[in-house]
Amino acid sequence: MFWIGCHLSAAKGYLAMGKTAKRIGANTFQFFTRNPRGGSVKALDLEDIAAYRAFAKENGFGKILAHAPYTLNACAADARVLAFARQVMQEDLERLAHLPEAMYNFHPGSHVKQGEEIGIVKIADMLNCVLTEEIQTKVLLETMAGKGTEVGRTFEQLAAILARVERKEQMGVCLDTCHVFDGGYDIVSDWEGVLRQFDEIIGLESLCAVHLNDSKNPLGSRKDRHACLGEGTIGHMAIAEVICHPKLRDVPFLLETPNELEGYAREIAWLRTIRKGE
């Protein structure tokens, strides 16, 4: 099944996102759990969630992706920033208990001056603290471009975090095509090889979602500037190969390209022609 969608504004609630997704040809979507650059959160609207779930069932929607705010740094040096990250993650996961269709994706964090080893330990500690028996939501580490002191640029770093997490069955990875390319993985000339590395180091069974973006910068630039599909350094051909890989048939693909809804609709329509009939 081809699960395709894009990032949507959560301002009008879940049912509104579902309807928008359907209108632009999507059968999944991503949204921010709260203001991406802040921390404030709206009251939970259980009626809206119930209405969305009925809508999603009727329309054959797949898993959706809840994205944590950028301000969440699970390996911050500052104790207050770290406490804020834990609180946000805990609260987000409690809220997502009402939405079993959602997976939770977050940027592992920036170690600032502590070094990646300490960063890795802190991120895993945070997950071990937050992931309790009551929480059923799948939690995904996003692959990062490696700008600044971001942890999660290499598959080895992600594997090292996962290895330290106790509730491994609840964890997964979201591969961002712009980030891995900027991070130095050549998905343009060797997608097969990059996936093989992912499989050897992390395990393909952990690949739970893909962020589908072109990149404004060259391979290994460590920049993280998304481009519309075909307008960047990755290009249409490589994007087509990404979505057609036989081992990724059931993985949801989410666009985070710099688009308005019409642009997303066009990209989704094009992607559907590549995965025709699904």
Q: Which is nearer to Fe ion, 53 or 211 (CB)?
A: 211
Size of the site for Fe ion (CB under 5 A): 3
Determine the distance from the C-alpha atom of residue 233 to the mean position of all C-alpha atoms in its chain, rounded to a whole number: 21
Q: Which is nearer to Zn ion, 116 or 256 (CB)?
A: 256
Q: Which does 92 bind (CB under 5 to 8 A by kind): Fe ion, Zn ion, none?
A: none
Q: Which does 53 bind (CB under 5 to 8 A by kind): Zn ion, Fe ion, none?
A: none
* Site of tokens 């069932």: 57
Q: Which does 267 bind (CB under 5 to 8 A by kind): Zn ion, Fe ion, none?
A: none
Residues 41, 44, 45, 50: is their CA dihedral positive or negative? positive
Among 211, 227, 232, 259, binds Fe ion (CB under 5 A): 211
**DSSP string for 116-140:** HHHHHHHHHHHHHHH--TT----EE
Looking at residue 100, its amino acid is: P
In order of 17, 20, 32, 267, the CA distances from 261 in angstroms are: 12, 9, 16, 10
Could you tell me which stretch among 34-42, 78-86, 157-165, 169-177 binds Fe ion (CB under 5 A)? 169-177
In order of 4, 30, 105, 167, 185, the CA distances from 177 in angstroms are: 15, 16, 15, 27, 9
The residues annotated with a catalytic role in the active site are: 37, 67, 70, 107, 142, 176, 179, 211, 224, 226, 256
Is residue 176 within the footprint of Fe ion (CB under 5 A)?
yes
Q: How far is the CB of 262 from Zn ion (least distance, A)?
A: 22
Q: How far is the CB of 176 from Zn ion (least distance, A)?
A: 6
Q: Which helix (H) or strand (E) holds 272?
A: helix 261-274
Q: Which is nearer to Zn ion, 130 or 207 (CB)?
A: 207
DSSP state of 206: G
Q: How far apart are CA 221 and CA 226, in angstroms?
A: 12
Q: How far is the CB of 29 from Zn ion (least distance, A)?
A: 17
Q: Which does 211 bind (CB under 5 to 8 A by kind): Zn ion, Fe ion, none?
A: Fe ion
Task: Specify whether the CB–CB gap between 147 and 217 falls below 8 A.
Answer: no
- Residue 182's nearest CA partner among 210, 143, 209, 208 is 143
Could you tell me which stretch among 14-22, 44-52, 196-204, 207-215 binds Fe ion (CB under 5 A)? 207-215
Q: How far is the CB of 277 from Fe ion (least distance, A)?
A: 28
Q: Which does 224 bind (CB under 5 to 8 A by kind): Zn ion, Fe ion, none?
A: Zn ion
The binding site for Fe ion (CB under 5 A) comprises: 142, 176, 211
